[in-house]
Amino acid sequence: MAGVGERVDGYRLVGDLGADPRGAHFRAVDAGGAPHVLTLVSGETARTPGFRERLERSVALSLRVSSFSLLTAVDADPWADTPWVAFRDAGHAEPLSERIAGGDLLADRELYRFAVHTATALAVLHGEGIVHHGVTGEDILVGADGAVVVDRVVARAVETTADGSRSLLTPQQPEPERRGGGRGTGADDVFGWAATVVRAATGRSAFPGPPCPETAARAVTGRPDLEGVSRPLSSVLESCLVHDPARRPGAHRVLAVLLGYTGEDVCPELGELHARSLRFGARKRWMPLEVDLGVLEGGFRARAREEVRRRVAASEPENPGGLNLIWQPPDMDGGDGD
């Protein structure tokens, strides 16, 4: 397998980012000097029957999506002697797991923005019918501009084997319904997202305890430990950590609620949510004091979009849904907080 200083197709490897069961990860630059992250698939993974065909399909899925909240594939060669996948670079962001290990937890507005950006990534993926297959601290990068979720292109190819059960993933808080194996679903992603937000805020599992049958049973039948996560975020997370996957809200609804939409609103389109989420990263003056949890179970009332547009045009509210907001003071440099 190639190492730092060597070339892989049109990319030069310039930094070692470590390895996991899927393969080795490097910082790389293309022929024009643009930075990328490149994964070289491990020999064991590459030899899995049918893996290369699945990797080709997984890359094609990743190329279909685009979002500020996602680190997606931009190039790949599933048929090389050592298969590889190149991703766009995430700049100076660091894995959430490393930040937590250093004792630097997320809180208040930064935590809420983290939840919004990562929920955005799942909503975008699910909107294209793509399952992430294991949201954990290793696959979320945190930086000054917020959080970015790495699309698990290689892991998805491993996860979707012929028998539907083989996986090299080792999630920090496995979903209750997957403890006996089986393919991942969007409901699994929502559970993993909520568990990861809890870990980002507290540094511990949502169902704390040593790996043992008793701890696993708590994830199946017990309530999560959300001490240290403030409301209203804790209420949203609790709805996503229920043991029955059929009762978990979809990522689209979760994102809408986090952004302040209520059951009185028409169900927002994904493009609208994506735009508001991007502005949330730049406009840091507010976050909801309360959210409409009824949306997570009951959804939105059917309401004509033209009526909503007329209402918005007439009132031009600063906050969607009319919820109470926490207003931050203007920036000290003279800006208005935007």
* Residues 44 and 188 occupy one common structural domain: no
| Tally of structural domains, the chain | 2
Give tens-digit pLDDT for 78-131.
999 999 999 988 777 888 998 999 999 999 889 999 999 999 999 999 999 988
Cα–Cα distance, 301 to 67 (Å, whole number):
28
Q: Which CATH number goes with the domain that contains 273? A: 1.10.510.10
3 occurs within a structural domain: no
Residues 175 and 82 occupy one common structural domain? no
pLDDT of residue 152: 86
pLDDT reported for residue 180: 47
Is residue 336 domain-resident? no
In whole angstroms, what is the distance from residue 101 CA to residue 210 CA?
Answer: 17
Which of 39, 76, 46 lies closest to 157 in space, CA to CA? 46
pLDDT computed for residue 89 by the predictor: 84
Tokens 């190819």 map to which residue?
Answer: 157
Q: Report the 10 Å Cβ neighbour count for 209.
A: 14
Q: What is the mean pLDDT of residues 260-269?
A: 86
Tell whether 275 and 311 lie within a shared domain.
Answer: yes
- Identify whether the C-beta of residue 66 lies closer than 8 Å to the C-beta of residue 120: no
In the chain, % of residues over pLDDT 70: 76
Top pLDDT among 213 and 209 is at 209
Query: Do 20 and 50 belong to one domain?
Result: yes
- Which residues form the domain of 12? 8-88
Q: Is residue 65 part of a domain?
A: yes
0.85 cut: is pTM over it?
no
Has residue 1 been placed in a domain? no
Structure tokens at 249: 């809200």
* 319 neighbors 283 (Cβ within 8 angstroms): no
Residue 37 resides in a domain: yes
Q: Do 26 and 129 fall within a single domain?
A: no
> Is the pLDDT score of 35 beyond 90?
yes
Helix (H, G, I), strand (E, B) or coil at 38: strand
- Per-residue pLDDT, averaged over 265-294, amounts to 81
Q: In this predicted model, which residue has the larger pLDDT, 312 or 171?
A: 312
On whether both 49 and 72 belong to a single domain, the answer is yes
- Measured CA to CA, the distance from residue 190 to residue 185 in angstroms comes to 9
Q: Is residue 235 part of a domain?
A: yes
As a whole number of angstroms, the distance between CA 202 and CA 224 comes to 13
- Is 199 in the same domain as 285? yes
Q: What span, in angstroms and rounded, lies between the C-alpha atoms of 46 and 43?
A: 5
C-alpha to C-alpha distance for 185 and 128, rounded to whole angstroms: 13
Residues 113 and 246 in one domain: yes
Tell me if 299 is assigned to some domain: yes
Q: What is the mean pLDDT of residues 314-320?
A: 51
Same domain, 287 and 160: yes
CA dist 66 and 58 (Å) reads 15
Count, residues in the chain: 338
Is residue 43 situated within a structural domain? yes
* Residue that terminates a domain, selected from 62, 88, 114: 88
| Residue 41: its H or E element | strand 35-41
CATH of the domain at 37: 3.30.200.20
* Domain boundary, last residue among 88, 106, 126: 88
The pLDDT tens digits of the residues spanning 43-76 come to 999 999 999 999 999 999 999 999 999 999 999 9
For 215-237, the pLDDT digits (tens) are 444 555 578 999 999 989 999 99
| Whether 222 and 147 share a structural domain | yes
What mean pLDDT do residues 304-317 have? 55
Looking at the structure, tell me whether residues 199 and 316 fall in a common domain: yes
Domain-terminating residue out of 56, 71, 88: 88
Give the model's pLDDT for residue 136. 86
Q: Is the peptide bond before 288 cis (omega within 30 degrees of 0)?
A: no
pLDDT at 219: 52
* String of DSSP letters for 23-46: EEEEEEE-TT--EEEEEEEPHHHH
**Per-residue model confidence (pLDDT) at position 290:** 82
**What average pLDDT score do residues 14-22 get?**
85
Q: How many CB atoms lie within 10 A of CB 163?
A: 8
Question: Are 187 and 251 contained in the same domain?
Answer: yes
